[in-house]
Amino acid sequence: MNEQIEEQNEEFGMAYLDSCDRPTLLLIHGFPLSSAMWELQIEDLGDMVRVVAPDLRGHGRSGDTPPPYSVTMFADDCADLLDYLAIPGPVIVGGLSMGGYVAFEFYRRYPERVAGLILAATRAGADTPEGKAGRDKMAQMAREEGVEAVAAAMLPKLLAPITYKEQTDVVEFVQEMMEDTSLAGVLGALAAMKERPDSTPTLAEIDVPTLIIHGAEDQLIPVIEAQAMHKAIAGSQLVVLPDAGHMPNLEQPDEFADAVADFLEQFLEEEE
């Protein structure tokens, strides 16, 4: 682990990992996960950029507040963390899945604070009526059977078949991370995702360098969603990682880091 990582600061209510004082990459985790999912990226990229990876409220080591939450709350929490760290911006904002939904909202609310976007395993569209019904069903399961039941229901869909077979450490790690999420966090985030706005109209407005990364075997968000975002975001770059499902940064960390590092070069050149 990179020695420059600062752990949670007790004074600020939100827990986070932070790797130092270079151009900043804000990495926003998915549901129901935490900043722990980015630890390999901090190792791989922490010498190139300052990586700040918050635990969204109700997730990881951050405290929770009563649900429901919204993507606006999550985006504002991230902006507050950057303020607290005295990083006025602009920063490169990366989000995986739900983190991508938050990244879109952050871009809409704070365009001046965004130098670039990394959209990993995410989609632009809002929930369909079936999707919303699925959120309600999962919330009911969480209330009646606990967060472990939600983790058990999600686990078989999160990774590529080869990951279940050959990377059991990754499977266990993802399961533990999900089980560490509080009930309020699960319910709050389900509400945030259910009510999130459609980001499709935002795509044509994005005028910062954008990298889209997707697992070829993502069962939760098919790769066609990434291809559609790539088409709609002018000048964007699309990298599809073979043998990766919904967690490409954990399933194919070296390939993921290479794609991100190549993308980040342009920001370092601008700095020099």
CB of 75 to ligand MLT, least distance (A): 15
Amino acid, single-letter form, for residue 161: P
Query: Which DSSP string corresponds to 55-106?
Result: --TTSTTS---SSP--HHHHHHHHHHHHHHTT--S-EEEEEETHHHHHHHHH
Least separation, in Å, of the C-beta of 135 and ligand MLT? 8
Q: In sequence order, what are the residues at sequence separation of 6 or more whose Cβ sits closer than 8 angstroms to the Cβ of residue 156?
A: 164
Min dist CB 247 to ligand MLT, Å, is: 8
Q: How many residues are listed for the chain in this entry?
A: 272
CB of 30 to ligand MLT, least distance (A): 3
Tell me if residue 249 falls in helix, strand or coil.
helix
Minimum CB separation from ligand MLT for residue 27, in Å? 13
What is the C-alpha to C-alpha distance for residues 193 and 170, in angstroms, rounded to an integer?
Answer: 25
Report the residue number, 85 or 139, with the smaller CB distance to ligand MLT.
139
Helix (H, G, I), strand (E, B) or coil at 131: helix
For ligand MLT, give the closer residue by CB, 50 or 246: 246
- Give the Cβ contact number of residue 130 at 10 Å: 7
Residue 169 burial (10 A CB sphere; 0-12, 13-18, 19+): exposed
The CB-of-136 to ligand MLT minimum distance in angstroms stands at: 13
At residue 72, what is the residue type? T
Which residues are at the interface with ligand MLT (CB under 6 A)?
Answer: 30-31, 97-98, 193, 220, 246
The DSSP letter of residue 234 is T
Query: Looking at beta carbons only, is 44 or 218 nearer to ligand MLT?
Result: 218
